[in-house]
Amino acid sequence: MSVELEIDESKVWSPEERQAYLDQIPEMSLFEDHILEGDVMVDAMMALVEEGETAETLALKFKNKGNKMFADGKKFNKNYYSYALKEYSDALAYGLKALASPTPAEELAKMDIDEPIVMTTLMATILTNRAAAHLALKNYGSCRSDAARALKYDPKNLKAIYRGAKASSLLKKPEDTLRYCAVGLAIDPNNKELLALRVDGDRILEEQRVQRELDAFKAKKAHAMTDKFRKLCALRGVRVGRGVLDDARVKDFEGKADLDEEGVMCWPVLLLYDEYGQSDFIQSFGERDMFIEHLANMFPEEGPFCFWDQRHDYVASQLVVYAAADVVPAFSTPEAWHVALSGAKESDAMESARLDADEKHEYKPKVWLRVSPFCKLFQLLTHHQYVVPGIPVLNVMVRGSKQEASFLEAIEHRVVNLEER
């Protein structure tokens, strides 16, 4: 079953009415930049005049209904604020219709109206009141937008100025808060609400200034640390790329390897025991340390054994270490290091180049290094096929176990032995 809607053509805007509406749109005002596109929430073109009413009287009627809903929101339930928004939006639609195609004065004079209607004043009130409803619902951007629209109709509307200032303050935009306050206090120098908001704006402005200085200091420090890390790696012939493992320890410690008091470069290293879904994190693994030194401390021959080691076969002498070789592309420029490790902004061109490099790298055959326990970390880091994926990540398993057999089958035995030298 279909329903056909018949529209009374006499109540739809004519081309002349439409042009009249466009002609009456004000020029850009002081707070024009706060008006949100598409935030009118009405389609004025389709606002139809109900029988026995004019656009002016309907705008007033729906404004009053919105006021009632807003008052009920204060008294009973905040859901009424949403209902108030709907009424104010309907009022705005009829207000725009009335401005574009005013009812003749003699016709309005015949109607029973409790209060004279001045459309610019009414429009400012409707928008100011809708801004209050948005403010109550924490729609701060829309509140500010309606306040700015209201000021186009009434530049001295203190309620609109206050609501624009309040929404700007809640959006942590102190410059805009102070702009509203300056306009309002020029009209009413003793306005307590605006004076309080001006103090608030000055406070937020100072807090943001301090935060910017702190952020700049942190960025400068991060840049210096990354530069130092990059140069240390370059001196040793160590290649580094982005971390790919979704692990907080990788994200928190990539780029943090540094020299100790003896000039030895110490690295954070993550060890994975996939058989049991467990892991260990060594925060300072010296580049000259042999793998067996750490394994012997963590997995002594006579125990104690890890709580997850059900068979008690995770002892240093039985363990084998694997490392994925070039799992990620190495950083090729200082800018790439800083984007990944210092938090520097990545340009569109750099991002495009990085994504292309990542895509090409996906097609490269992957190789794993079987690391002798008597190798030093330095030997792994400087291997010509190895790229550090954020931080060194090692897969540890029991030699000859089913876990190792399954692992080797999965990687198609693409393994290169890394022996001590």
**pLDDT value of position 108:** 83
Which neighbouring-strand residues pair with 396? 321
Which of the two residues, 39 and 235, has the higher pLDDT score?
235
The secondary structure element, H or E, covering residue 417 is strand 415-418
Compute the distance between CA of residue 392 and CA of residue 221 in angstroms, rounded to an integer. 24
Q: Are the beta carbons of 371 and 377 closer than 8 angstroms?
A: no
Average pLDDT over residues 258-272: 96
Q: Are the beta carbons of 163 and 131 closer than 8 angstroms?
A: yes
Does residue 9 have a pLDDT over 60?
Answer: no
Q: Are the beta carbons of 420 and 380 closer than 8 angstroms?
A: no
| pLDDT confidence bin for 242, thresholds 50/70/90 | very high
**pLDDT value of position 15:** 61
Compute the distance between CA of residue 164 and CA of residue 311 in angstroms, rounded to an integer. 69
How far lies 304's CA from each of 12, 120, 297, in Å?
86, 84, 11
Domains of the chain: which residue ranges? 40-205, 237-418
| pLDDT confidence bin for 21, thresholds 50/70/90 | low
Pairing of strands 388-389, 240-241: parallel
| pLDDT confidence bin for 358, thresholds 50/70/90 | confident
Q: Which residue, 303, 282, 302, is CA-closest to 293?
A: 282
| pLDDT confidence bin for 29, thresholds 50/70/90 | low
| pLDDT confidence bin for 38, thresholds 50/70/90 | low
**pLDDT value of position 419:** 85
Does residue 313 have a pLDDT over 80?
Answer: yes
Compute the distance between CA of residue 58 and CA of residue 52 in angstroms, rounded to an integer. 10
Does residue 68 have a pLDDT over 50?
Answer: yes
Average pLDDT over residues 264-288: 96
Answer whether the bond into residue 365 is a cis peptide, omega within 30°. no
**pLDDT value of position 44:** 43
Name the phi and psi angles at 188, rounded to 5. Answer: -135, 90
Average pLDDT over all residues of the chain: 89
**pLDDT value of position 46:** 43
How far lies 69's CA from each of 75, 130, 134, 166, 416, in Å?
10, 11, 13, 22, 75
Q: Are the beta carbons of 311 and 389 closer than 8 angstroms?
A: no
Which of the two residues, 46 and 330, has the higher pLDDT score?
330
Which of the two residues, 49 and 85, has the higher pLDDT score?
85
Does residue 317 have a pLDDT over 90?
Answer: yes
Does residue 42 have a pLDDT over 50?
Answer: no
64, 68, 74, 79: CA torsion to nearest 10: -100
Name the phi and psi angles at 58, rounded to 5. Answer: -70, -35
| pLDDT confidence bin for 14, thresholds 50/70/90 | low
Which of the two residues, 114 and 19, has the higher pLDDT score?
114
Average pLDDT over residues 104-133: 89
pLDDT, tens digit, 9 for 90 and up, residues 245-254: 999 999 999 9
What count of other Cβ atoms lies within 10 Å of the Cβ of residue 328? 19
- State which CATH number among 1.10.3810.10, 1.10.10.10, 1.10.287.610, 1.25.40.10 fits the domain covering 40-205: 1.25.40.10
Which of the two residues, 148 and 363, has the higher pLDDT score?
148
| pLDDT confidence bin for 328, thresholds 50/70/90 | very high
**pLDDT value of position 366:** 86
Q: Which residue, 373, 264, 271, is CA-closest to 316?
A: 373
Q: Which residue, 129, 118, 199, 196, is CA-closest to 157?
A: 129
**pLDDT value of position 421:** 67
Compute the distance between CA of residue 347 and CA of residue 356 in angstroms, rounded to an integer. 14
Does residue 26 have a pLDDT over 80?
Answer: no
Burial annotation 253-270 (CB, 10 A radius, 16+ → b, else e): bbbebeeeeeeebbbbbb
**pLDDT value of position 180:** 97
Q: How much is the pTM? A: 0.69
**pLDDT value of position 43:** 45
Does residue 31 have a pLDDT over 90?
Answer: no
Amino acid identity for residue 182 in this structure:
A
Q: Give 47's DSSP letter.
A: -
| pLDDT confidence bin for 4, thresholds 50/70/90 | very low
Pairing of strands 393-398, 319-324: antiparallel
Does residue 166 have a pLDDT over 60?
Answer: yes
Does residue 55 have a pLDDT over 70?
Answer: yes
Residues in CB range of 273: below 8 A, 6 or more apart: 279, 280, 308, 314, 396, 397
How far lies 247's CA from each of 35, 69, 93, 176, 243, in Å?
43, 51, 54, 41, 9
**pLDDT value of position 253:** 96
Compute the distance between CA of residue 296 and CA of residue 183 in angstroms, rounded to an integer. 73
**pLDDT value of position 365:** 81
Compute the distance between CA of residue 170 and CA of residue 395 in angstroms, rounded to an integer. 50
Query: In this prediction, what percent of the chain has a pLDDT beyond 90?
Result: 76
Does residue 1 have a pLDDT over 50?
Answer: no
Does residue 51 have a pLDDT over 90?
Answer: no
